[in-house]
Structure 1
Amino acid sequence: MKITLIAGARPNFMKIAPIIEAIEQQQKKGSNIHYRLIHTGQHYDKNMSESFFVQLGIPEPHANLESGGGTQAEQTANIMVRFEKELFEHPADVVLVVGDVTSTLACSIVAKKLNIDVVHVEAGIRSYDMSMPEEINRMVTDAIADHFFTTSDVANQNLRKSGVAEDRIHFVGNTMIDTLLRQSPNFKQPSIWDDAGLKKGEYFVLTLHRPANVDAEQKLKELLDTIIEGAKGLPIIFPVHPRTAKNLQSLGIQTHHLFMTDPMSYLEFNYLVKYAKAVITDSGGITEETTVLNVPCMTLRNNTERPETVTIGTNELLGTDPSNLPPAFDRLFNGEWKKGDIPELWDGKTGERIVTILDQLYNN
């Protein structure tokens, strides 16, 4: 079996790493499985990407399509044209895509038009918010994929409702958590720890990047003012997404306990998350990590494609209205935050399960 693995953006690296490791373990057992890793270049920062390859033990990609930049339509088209050429030159039996970025959608379409099976890792998750590009990517990919590897029973139910046959749905767990558990002993204290005088359990981590929160300057200012007040003087570590940085420059927010930093490496950022009093975010993936690390999480979104982090984990969905934050801070400081649990099969063995199933499907 020849399998082509697609990675296009930062979160994809964490999802792909356990699958590569499991493939290499299967190869050692004599399995006839060969992979080719393709970096579409959708999001590419030389320093950040290379640090990920080293830190997560991912080999250098066999090819980088260098298709970043431009509008979403231009980027989708660039990826499709270049990936089609890649598959002509290096045919595959299976194309494996992860997550919900533009690369996931684009490479799935190309593979299916070439009559190559597509398997989707992290299939079936839904926010039902069509204003999110990621939701469109998920829905289109799941509409044409051949096999679906899922992280939760909610995702399984979503796929069943859309008519996917039971024998194509494979509940395997979460490869993001494989990477988190594998790398936890290697988490690295960032320089901001000493610079900000941080102590375990006595600071907040903040991330913001969604348009609803950062595109309108007044809304962003109101959110930050509310968070600063709610933190009661505890340090707030804010690795600033490039999208957010542009608007922050004109706001001129300054306080002694808000520390804005450049984006951090995976190992440094998760060190901060692990020891934080709480995380405030509008990210999806971070809510999974806080759930497993048992760290309270406040999500500034009106919906989530990862409801298990709310129903089972430590996450609370607060919405984008800043007025919802003060009661959440009160619960946190009063010791009333809910006690979370870890969702089923988020046990660090998802990559192995995926590759075992692929071996059964395509090597027999």
Structure 2
Amino acid sequence: MTDQSVMTYVPEHAAKDHPRVPREKIGVLIANLGTPDGYDYWSMRRYLNEFLSDRRVIDYAPWKWQPLLQLIILTKRPFTSGAAYKSIWNEDKGESPLMTITKDQTAAITDRMNDMFGDRVMVDFCMRYGNPSTFSKVHEMVAKGCTKLLFFPLYPQYAGATTATANDQFFRALMKEKWQPAARTVPAYFDNPQYIEALAKSVEAAYAKAEKTPDLLVVSYHGMPKRYLMEGDPYHCQCQKTTRLLKERLGWTDDKIATTFQSVFGPEEWLRPYTVEEVARLAQEDGKKNIAVIAPAFSADCIETLEEINEEIQESFVEAGGESFTYIPCLNDEPAHIDVLSQVIADNLKGWIG
């Protein structure tokens, strides 16, 4: 049902009994991975079931994967994942940090769009897994008069398990609409000069504040099975290019920066080196006692950065003899990041709006 606060009108030359319709708008729907509604067992189980049942994420045959998932993994993992979420939960707002940050990003982007285009552009956000769902937000935006929709998965580097599955869900949502809007999706922006500049400035700021200048910057990306790379997924190559462009912007030599991959899951070999193992090796074998870690594949701090990097990976480094560990936060809702995202949106709205 159309929100009553939306401006409506009766089309010119329409019959007197024609229903009022909302005035046309352009919608920008940003999307992130998702978050459980809470860290209790059942909230975690619902979230993990949706996430781990996605064939883009785990592509094993359902007859083989689902019994293992339902009978073993989802019996135990909600407890461990729930404990991890509890350690970072925003108790004041009753939500995960990813939800808080995504809301803040949406509000900031809305302000920028208003400055650029007035009230002709509507901005909202959805999650691929959990709430608010892609289906609910697409329907809401169409009901509010969005006849054109720009869908923006907030992943700088493209991967089938992130960007593609978000787009899949967006297209499924469009299939439910009686009157489909015109639709576009935003491509990866891993080599966008503004994005690289924002990353570089965050590194420079962190190094300036560090008590000890790090010996090495570990650039940690979310992992994926190596098989996906061999099957044509460009993620690994785009991650490597992001690191190279960051290194060049900082004016560093190769020995000052390294690319690693985190969040390994399951029995397959994943993209290497694994962050949790590499930071320990750096401390033990290479004598790198002071390191910094940044995670450019994440547009907002989340369980993989706040808990995995800042707790598990840091612990691995310290236990191996490391002394100083600096985590450089994601770009989140920093003005430079909002500038990047807003410009990417404006570029992709060309032809729809001046």
TM-score, shorter chain, exceeding 0.5: no
TM-score by length of 2: 0.39
Larger radius of gyration: 2
**RCO greater where, 1 or 2, for CA within 8 Å and sep 6 or more?**
2
